Amino acid sequence: MSNSLFIHPTAIIDDGANIGKGSRIWHWVHVCGEAQIGKEVSLGQNVFIGNKVVIGDRCKIQNNVSVYDNVTLEDDVFCGPSMVFTNVYNPRSFLDRKSEYRNTLIKKGATLGANCTIVCGVSIGEYAFVGAGAVVNRDVKPYALMVGVPAKQIGWMSQYGEQLPLPLSGHGQFRCPHSNKLYKLNHLNLSCQDA
């Protein structure tokens, strides 16, 4: 990856925005002046990044995503096309509720599928996987596979992004079929043993 920053001529980058080396900003993107964007980030066409937003290194934000104030993405987060963040839980057009913004945290390596909605105030765990079209309205555990409206956990995902098969016989352990990494289930939480 080149250390040079690419900004398409149609993009609007407000004064003061902090954008890391090697990032790519595509057509009709708007980055507000207080935004903090890490290294090697890709912002697809028609992305909006608010003022009070922090985006970690190597995140990929696909076309038509708006990342509003009080959203934090840790490193290596994937935001699928047209997925939705919110920052006010109960908005009304005639009420100013900017003082009521809720913080949303998307942890390292998480995937947010196309057209999913993340209701403000939740935390998505490391390497969790939110399926396309899901609506997340509560915290998500690390490595959890979430689908539906409202989103429910239906399994576990590896760091590689593959659904983990049933646990190894009687051990509460899973092995990723692609990477061969071992995962252990402990008190309904999954962790990678080969990290």
CA 97 to chain centre: 24
pTM of the model: 0.94
Question: How does DSSP classify residue 100?
Answer: G
* Residue 109 exposed, middle or buried by CB count within 10 Å (0-12, 13-18, 19+): buried
**pLDDT per position as a tens digit, 32-49:** 999 999 999 999 999 999
Q: Where do the domains of the chain lie?
A: 6-164, 165-195
Report d(CA 19, CA 13) in Å as an integer. 10
pLDDT value for 56: 98
CATH label, 6-164, candidates 3.60.130.10, 2.160.10.10, 3.30.450.40, 3.30.70.270: 2.160.10.10
Q: Which two tokens stand for residue 175?
A: 């092995």
pLDDT value for 171: 64
Q: Mean pLDDT across the stretch 127-143?
A: 98
Whole-Å CA distances, 123 to 3, 12, 119? 31, 29, 10
